[in-house]
Chains A and B, each alone.
Chain A
Amino acid sequence: MEDNLKMIEAACSDVRQASRLLCSPSPAQLDRCAALLQAAVARLKERRGLPDAQRGAARPLAEALRLRTAIRRAGALLESAANYHAAWRRLIDAMSGGYAPGGAPAVVVRPARLCLRG
C-alpha cells in the first residue's frame, strides 16, 4: 500500500510540475513538460503491477483524487495554450489566404523551410 501511495504521490508531483511549466509555454518548456508527464505515466503503469493491499483506503484514494485534479488542471492549461496558438494560426491563414467559400479560413499551404543561423 505504501508503495502504491508513493507512486501516486510522485505522479502527482510530476503533473504539478508540468502544470507550472505550462504557465510559460515554449517549445522547450513543452518538451520538459512531456518528459514529466511521461514519467507520471510510467509510475502509474508500474503501480498497476502492484497488489492493492488496502482497497478503499482513504489516503491512496484521496491522493488519487488529487492526482485527477492536477491532471485536469494540466489538461486545461495545455488546452488554453494550444487554443491560443491554433486561433492565431487560423487568423494568419485568414489574413494571408482569405476565406474559403464556407466562411472558414482558407487552407494556406506552407512549404517546408530551412532556417540557418550562425
Chain B
Amino acid sequence: MSGLSAAMATAAGALEAYDRVLEVTQNNVDNANTPGYAAQTQTLEALPFDLNSGALGGVSAGEVVSARDQYSEQAVRSATTALGAANQNLQSLTSVQSVFDVTGNSGLPYALNNLFQSFSAWAQSPTGTVERQSVLDQASAVASAFQQTAAQLGQVRQGVETQLQQTVDAVNQLTAQLAALNQQVAAGGQNDAGLDAQVTSTLETLSQYVDITASKQSDGATTVLLNGQAPLVMGTSAYQLTYQLAEPQDPPPDYPQGPPSASIFSGDNDVTSQITTGSLGALLDVENRVIPSYLGNAYQPGNLNTMAQQFADYVNQTLTSGDIDDRNPPQAGVAIFTYDTSNGADVAATMAVDPTVTSDQLAAIDPGPPPVANGIALQLAALANPQSSDGEIENVSYTEYFGQMASSVGAELSAATDNQQTQQSTVAQAQDLRQQTSGVSLDEEAMTLVQFQRAYEANSHLITILDELTEDAINMLLLT
C-alpha cells in the first residue's frame, strides 16, 4: 500500500471509530432519563505504529463495555472479602476461646479455686504443717496455670503469625498472576474470553484475602488497588506486600519490651491501616487487638498480665504484712510469688513460686492490734468471695475477672459465628444479583429497579416492627 493510501485508510479508520463513539454518546444522552439505564462506553484501541512494517498507528473502536458488569463483579468481590474476614475471624477466635476453660475443672479457675480452699484450710489450722505445704503447692499450681494460659495464647499468636505470612504470600502470588494475565492481554488477548474468565476468577480468589478495587483500563489491563488506595497490580507490574513484626515507635511505647505488632508494607509504605477486612484484615485484628488485650503489647500489659501481677502482689503484700509466730520480736512473713518485674507484659508467663520459700515461712498471724492467730490466712481465704475492694480486681473477684475475659471471647465468637452465616448468604445473594443482571435488557432492569425500591421499603418497615416485637418478647421472658 502506498504511503498516501495507507495514511488515508488510517484516517478513515479513526473517523469510523469516532463515529461509533458519537453513536454511543448519543445513545447515553437519549437515555439520560431512562430509569436504570447503564451508560455505555465506547473504548478506543491504539493500533500499532511501526513505519518499517507499514503500521501507521491510529485508533480503532473496541467493544462496548457496560459499567453494570464491573459494578456487579465488584459487589461479589466485596461480599467475598467480608466472608473471608468472617471465616478467618471464626477460626482464630475458636483457637483463642479454647484457652479459656470456664467449667472450673481445669486451667486457671480450677487452680485458683484449689488455692482459695487451701487458704481456707490453713485458716482452720494456722500452724498445721500439711495445710501450709498445701498452700505452697496450690500457689505453684496457680503460677503454672498463669504460665500455661500465657503459653497457650502465645501459641495461638504464633499460629496467627504463620497464617499472616502465608496470606501475604498468597496475595503476592495472585497479584503476580494478574500482572502476567495483563501481559497476555497486552499481547493481543483483549477479547479472549478465556483470559477474561481467568482474570475474574483470580480477582475473586484475591478478594477473600484483602479488600480490592479492580477496574479495567482502556487497553484491557486490569488495575487492582488495595482498599481503593495502594496499587497491587498496574499493567504488567505487581506490587508485592511484605509482612513485618516490629515494636511500634510512634507514639513511644509504654511497654518497650512488650510483644511486637504486625504490619503490612507495600514497598516502603505501611498499608496496615488500609487492610481492615478480608482474611488478612481479620488476622491483623486478632494479632494486633484480640491477643494483646490478654497478653499485652507496646501500649498495654494485657488483662492476663494485669490479673497475674495484681494477684501476686496482693498475696505477697498480705503475707509480708503478717507474722510467722508470736515470738518477740515477731518474725515477718515472706512473699511467695515472683515474676519478671522489668516487663509488665510478661508477668503471667514468668510467674512462679519462690523456690527458696519453705512452708514454715508462711505468716498466718495478723499482728493487729489486736493480733489474730489466723488473720492473714482468713484475709487470703476471702479472695474466693471478697466482701470489699480488698482482694478484688476492677470491682470483681479474680475468678470473676477471668470469667469476664472468657465471656468476652465467647461473645466475640458468637457474633463471629452469626456473622459468618450471614456473610455466606450475602455472597450467595451478590452472586445471584450478578446472575440476574447478566443477559437482562437494560429496559427490563430499569423497570425492576423501581419495583425493588418499593419492595425494600415494605420489607424494611416489617423488619423494624419484628425487631421491636422480638425485643419486647425477650424483655418479657427475661422478667422473673
Contact = CB atoms under 8 A, between A and B. Distances in A.
B33 A108 contact: yes
B181 to A, nearest CB: 26
A37 B457 CA distance: 13
A52 B252 CA distance: 58
Interface residues of B, number: 55
A25 B466 contact: no
B466 A15 contact: yes
Interface in A32-58: 33-34, 37-38, 40-41, 44-45, 47-48, 52, 55-57
Given A25-B452, A84-B433, A115-B443, A96 B459 contact: no
Contact of A108 (B32, B75, B449, B470): B32
Nearest to A95: B39
A76 B71 CA distance: 20
Interface string A82-115: 1011011101100111000000000011110101
Contacts of B472: 48
Contacts of A87: 71
B466 A77 contact: no
Main secondary structure of the interface of A (DSSP, over half): helix
B436 A40 contact: no
A93 to B, nearest CB: 10
Interface string A1-23: 00000001001000100010011
Interface of B: 28, 31-39, 67-68, 71, 75, 79, 418, 421-422, 425-426, 428-430, 432-433, 436, 443, 447-449, 451-456, 458-460, 462-463, 465-467, 469-474, 476-480
Given A23-B429, A96-B37, A96-B39, 15 more contacts: A15-B466, A34-B462, A37-B463, A55-B478, A57-B477, A61-B474, A61-B477, A64-B473, A71-B467, A71-B470, A73-B418, A85-B452, A88-B449, A92-B38, A111-B33
- Closest 3 CB pairs between A and B? A30-B455, A95-B39, A27-B451
Interface of A: 8, 11, 15, 19, 22-27, 30-31, 33-34, 37-38, 40-41, 44-45, 47-48, 52, 55-57, 60-61, 64-65, 67-69, 71-78, 80-82, 84-85, 87-89, 91-92, 95-97, 108-111, 113, 115
